[in-house]
Structure 1
Amino acid sequence: MTDHQEQAVIAVKDLAIYFGRGEHQVKAVDQVSFAIPPRQSFGLVGESGSGKSTILRALAGLDHVDQGQLLLDGEPLQIKRTKAFYKKVQMVFQDPYASLHPRHTVDKILAEPLAIHGFKDIEQRIIKVMDQVALPHKFRFRYPHQLSGGQRQRVAIARALILEPEILLLDEPTSALDVSIQAEVLNLLNRLRAELSLTYVLVSHDLAVVSYMCERVAVMQQGKLVELLQVDQDGKTYPKQAYTKQLNLASQGYDRARIEQFIDHD
């Protein structure tokens, strides 16, 4: 861990996030620590309510932090994120239909962040980023409702990329898409990371998706980090914890014999 800590582009130290008060208080994130080196794809996996998306939202500045620290390039992140932060770190949300303005064309959606950050070469950047995400130029003046789910998510990825960030926070980026389209978007994200030397933090409930996309995976359960897994070159993880083994089974689909075998051996 020390090696990762020294060169970490993102470090999470003893992070705690609580929701509610008194007897109704819930520890959404409970003393979680990890570090991510530059250009690595790091996964956060767990069932609903495990705290994985809360950590991602905290990194993006969308959720509060009660205890601990979030560091970017070794510097603690302040409560109010700066313009410089959003130029370096961008987020892709789960549902592209909800995250794209319904009355803005693709052109306006992509031009807006450039205008906010004072870029002048708007035309060239829009053409370049549409090419990067393999979105035909004919879609440029269409509205989100005129696009398919996969095309909308390509627009969301293009919007995140247009400021040329170094880090993408990916919140279940394929879970709202048809299964046939999911692989296309995951392959696109893998290609973009290689081409643009990006760092990814990927949240998913599906260990198979995370194992395909990431080199390391933090397994979350009820706010705690229960296991930190390395992913080998074949995309395999070797979990030790029973909870992670169950997640592994779930990601392989329902197989009665396999599940009975797991129950017998546990």
Structure 2
Amino acid sequence: MTTNPAIRVEKLNVSYGDSHVVKDLSFSVAPGESYGIVGESGSGKSTVLRVLSGLNRDWSGTVAIEGQVQPKRRDKAFYRAVQMVFQDPYGSLHPKKTVDDTLAEPLAIHGIGDAEARIARAMSEVGLPASFRFRYPHQLSGGQRQRVAIARALVLEPTILLLDEPTSALDVSIQAEVLNLLQALRQERKLTYILVSHDLAVVAHMCQRLLVMQFGRGVEEMTAATLAARSPQTDYARQLLTASEGFRRVG
């Protein structure tokens, strides 16, 4: 018996005016897999996440989530199953809402009871002390804010997390903590991830397979082992790897 992919994208196209930003893109992600999408700025990778999450409704092609083909406008049940963590922990939290308000809001929208237990569990899972519950974003560090954003995504108990450069706005010392937290959560909750990043080291650490995008197209799909062996097939993927290593090399 074959299992439906958790995410299936076929011939996805997205245009903004005259700009064709995603071109005939197809890929699938197995349940429980962590899948990376990498490429330079403007390659279309964040646009793909916006389509998957329902934020962008202007596209053509097929998007199926857990075997269900998705309409442009998603229903409430979709948002319980699929949540997104954004790049900027400073911009994604409301400055006048406490951590408690932020975590309670999605539960209220979806009419879910046992808010107390769910909020306590989500905070505990992301490593935030209970004493932080009534703090405001300005009272938290960047890493703590991103933990709140992850807790907000988890509080609805989704099966899929879409991660848009989730550590790029954080100090390098904090990045590893947040990535390790995300890895542990995926294993504990058996979550499916799509991680968008320009940083190949992050993707190699987090993902089992990855798709390299250039100018809106998927140019190569490879495993993390292929990336670790530095043996991509395409010139562009090799250039991306070399550039990434050059940027990260110290001493």
**Fold-level match, TM-score > 0.5?**
yes
What are the superposed Cα offsets for residues 208-253 of structure 1, whole Å, 9 maximum, x if unpaired? 1111100110000000000001112995553111111111122223
Cα deviation for residue 190 of structure 1 reads: 0.3
Counterpart of 2:59 (choices 66, 70, 73) is: 66
Cα deviation for residue 169 of structure 1 reads: 0.3
Q: Which moved more, 1:244-253 or 1:90-99?
A: 244-253
- Residue 264 of structure 1: aligned partner: none
Counterpart of 1:198 (choices 185, 191, 194) is: 191
Distance (whole Å) between structure 2 residues aligned to residue 255 and residue 95 of structure 1? 22
Cα deviation for residue 9 of structure 1 reads: 1.1
Unaligned runs of 5+ in 1: 257-266
Cα deviation for residue 188 of structure 1 reads: 0.3
Structure number with greater Rg is 1
Cα deviation for residue 19 of structure 1 reads: 0.8
- Residue 233 of structure 2: aligned partner: 240
Counterpart of 1:230 (choices 200, 223, 226) is: 223
- For the pair 1:120 / 2:117, whether they are aligned, the reply is no
Distance (whole Å) between structure 1 residues aligned to residue 48 and residue 227 of structure 2? 28
Unaligned runs of 5+ in 2: none
Cα deviation for residue 62 of structure 1 reads: 0.9
SS in 1 for 2:117: helix
Distance (whole Å) between structure 2 residues aligned to residue 164 and residue 235 of structure 1? 32
Q: What TM-score do the two structures reach when normalised by structure 2?
A: 0.95
- For the pair 1:150 / 2:124, whether they are aligned, the reply is no
SS in 1 for 2:72: coil
What are the superposed Cα offsets for residues 19-46 of structure 1, whole Å, 9 maximum, x if unpaired? 11xxxx1110000000011000000000
Contact kept? 2:51, 2:59, Cα under 8 Å: no
What RMSD in Å do the two structures reach over aligned CA positions? 1.7
SS in 2 for 1:64: coil
Q: What TM-score do the two structures reach when normalised by structure 1?
A: 0.90
Distance (whole Å) between structure 2 residues aligned to residue 221 and residue 43 of structure 1? 14
What are the superposed Cα offsets for residues 166-191 of structure 1, whole Å, 9 maximum, x if unpaired? 00000000000011100000000000
Counterpart of 2:33 (choices 20, 31, 40) is: 40
- For the pair 1:31 / 2:29, whether they are aligned, the reply is no
The number of residue pairs the alignment matches comes to: 248
